Each structure stands twice: as structure tokens, then as C-alpha cells.
Structure 1
Amino acid sequence: MSKKSNTSKRYTPEFKRDAVALVYSSGRTVTEVARDIGVSPEGLRNWVNQDKTDSRAGAGGRADHGRARGAGATAPQGPRDGTDDRGAGKSDRLLREPQDEVDVAARYTFVDAEKAGPDRPDGYSTSLLCRALKISRSGYYAYLAARPNAAATAREEEELVAEIRQIHEESRRAYGAPRITAALRRRGRRINRKRVERLMREHDIRGITRRKRRNLTKPDRRAAPSPDLVGRDFTATEPGTKLVSDITYLPTLAG
């Protein structure tokens, strides 16, 4: 049996949609998100590629996640015995804005803050909140399971950013992502340039970009050319016989 078959049986369509949406909304790489939610990078990459294919074909791509789930969903309701009739008002407040504009991670965070628990006995049930926010419970529980890994990843990135800043300062803020990546690898870090570029962009760390060389001398085509007094012969028998000069342009921070 192929790996793809096992993956399709293990994860629900709702979980796959939430995982793909998390890739889009978090700004992290597929590998990082896959590690945090406990799936294989290859499987998550296949889900993302399939979502892009469906989006191009008009079959409910990334922008239609919320509408696709909302089309067949029933209005959130409390328990049938009438013990919790707060569902309608709560749903109205949560759904005032289009769900497509709400970050998936923010919805998970909201559920975590509003659900009932020992320290919040008047909270709402997890199933009610997930229905109201149009996210799957499996995706939310995967988010909870991945939270320790996400915290460890955040700490690791903080250390990496500090090291990037150190290298950047030691280069007098001249190094860009390629040179900083090379410096990190010399220090023993296994890292790719795209990750360094992302961290530098997110923390506004910029190197000095070499400007294109410009020739500032513009000869006057109407002026008579100066005579060649040495005849291109630069040899001299004694000092002070032939004097020549040249201009060299040196780039500076002042321009």
C-alpha cells in the first residue's frame, strides 16, 4: 500500500484544509509547520500543491476555505436540552467579519481562550467554538499538541536572530543574507539561505547593497581633444620628466 493511501486514511479533509491554511497564514515553511503539527513534510507539501491545483481549477482553493466549510454547515447551536442558549449570540459576534480574513492561528488562540475549563467554568464548549469559527476540532487538537514544539521553535529562532544580529554588527552592517548564511555555516549551523532571508526581513536586518557602477565623467563631444604629449610612452629616464594621473571612484556610505 502506498504512503499516500495511508496518509489519506489517517487525516480528515478538515484537518488537511486547516493544515494548508496554517501554512498560508503563518508565513513559515512547509517543513516547519509540518514539524509543529506532527505530519510529514512530504504529505503537507502534497496537500498544499493539491490546494493550489484546486484553486486554479475553481474547485475551492485557499480563498474559499471558509466559504466551502460554511456552505454545508448548520448554524451553531447549544445542547438540545436547552442548558446553553448562548450559541447564537456568541456566533453572531464571532462571525461579523468574513472568515477568510481571519488568521487560522488566531482562531485556534481564540478557542483556547474562550473554551470552558477548571479556571473558566462559564466558558463555551470546544465543539461549539470550532463550529462557530469554522475550524475542525482535529485541527485545534493538533494545534494544542504542537504548541510545545512551536514554543521550542520560537526559542530557537530567537537565538538564531541574535546570532544573525551579531554577525551583521561585526560586519559593520554590511553583510546580507548570503554572507550571513555562509558565516552561520562556518559556525556549524545547518541552515539554508531562504530561512536567513525570512528572519532578516521579519526583523528588518539589512545589508549594504552594492550600487551599480556609474561613470560620472561625461566628455564634451564638441571640445577639442587634448594632445597626447607623451605619445603613450610612459617610460622616463629620471623622476619628474613625465607626469600622468588617473581617477578612481571609491564607493562610500555617503554615496
Structure 2
Amino acid sequence: MALLPVQVNIKALDDSTVGRFWAEALGWRVTSQGAGATAALPDGFDWREPVGVCVDVIAVPEARTATKNRVHIDLATTSADHQAELVARLKALGASPADVGQGDVPWTVLADPEGNEFCVLEPREIYRDTGPIAAVVVDCADPRAMARFWGEAIGWPPHEVTDEHAALRSARGVGPYLEFLRTPGVKTVPDRVHLDLVPDAGDDKAAEVARLRALGATDLDVGQGDVPWTCLTDPEGHEFCVLSRT
């Protein structure tokens, strides 16, 4: 039994603008999935057998609040020149500098056209083979507990686990890391960014959802009605969805 992270889901007032920003930022192709949905996809991406993740931007009527997102994307770079060039290119695409209290750090914090924060990292050897997305980072109170839940949920082994930071990655050594960063404060508003998961081939979605509940996930009603995906929250209240393969 397994669940595969398949996409980073971003809510936006204007899915087309934000989706196109992320496609150009990552060097991926953009595709419309119907009114209110725009995806940025790597070449050859198969959502039923994902290697890495795509970005799926979904239109919502609610504007983003001023509260910092507790889930964000880190982008990888290969050199100091690449980092500087990428930051300049992203600003030209519509990104803006963001201050989340980071102080003097070697990475650059930006926000997409609707204010969703992300980081452009300085070159780090650990991210040399992740592709453009180095990590999906979750702010949390207890990185160890979150790593246990998510490690069992998706079957990714721990790369690092401390009281301050935990990192998981697919045992296949492909795609981004999933990281948990001990951060002051508590979650007060719905996540603007979340992960969507898909059952592995041959696995039953209902059984996987039941397994997640047994691990500590909680059902979530966001007014989704009768849909083929299931909305849940992890033990610290971060929303995520389990998609159907059909």
C-alpha cells in the first residue's frame, strides 16, 4: 500500500496568471484543465505514475490573507550565477521580494503574483538532482511527529530528522524532498498551498484513506460536495487531498 505525492496544489483568484507564472518559472509546459484550473507540467509527466510533482493552480473566490503560508516551495540552483539569474528572471515574470523575517540568509525569498511565498536557494549539493523544485516545505510545531506521519503515509524514508528540521525523500532518489521546519506560531487560516496524493497502481483509494485516518489524519469538509477526491488534514491541521486514479 502506498500513496504518491503527485502535485502541489495552489489556490488563486486567477488560476491562469498564477499557473502560467509557475510554468515559466519552472521551465515546464502549461495546460488548462478546464475553467478554473491551470497546471504546470514537466515534459512526459504522468499523474498516475508521478516522478516528482507538478503544480496545479485552482481558482477560488477568496483572496489570500496577509498571513504567511505554512507550506511553500523551495527552488534549486546550481551556482551563484544561476541563483542570481533565476531571481532576476522570476522578478521579470511577476515575482516580488518577500520579507518573512528571514534576515540575512543566502537564499532569496520571493512571492508569486498572488503573494504565495517561495524560496530560491543558494546552490546545495543535496538538491543537485531534484529538478527545479528542491523541496516542498511545511511549517510545523513538531518536525519529528510530522516526519513519522508523512513517512508512513507516503512510504518515503527519512533523510534527516531533528527537533528543528526533518526531511523525507522517495526511496528511488528522484524528485523533491518533503521537509518539515519547526516554526513559531500555529496554523490559523486554511493553507493556500497543499499536496495532493494519488494511490499507487493496484491500491484501493478507500483503503488508503482509512489507513491515513488510522495514522492520525482527520476528515475535512471544505464544501467540496460529491467529488472523486477525499480532503483530509494531517495531525497539525495541514490540508491535503487523496485523488482517485480514475
Does the alignment reach a TM-score above 0.5?
no
Q: 1 or 2, which has the higher strand percentage? A: 2
TM-score, L = length of structure 1: 0.24
TM-score, L = length of structure 2: 0.24
Q: 1 or 2, which has the higher helix percentage? A: 1
Higher relative contact order (CA 8 A, sep 6+): 2
Pair member with larger Rg: 1
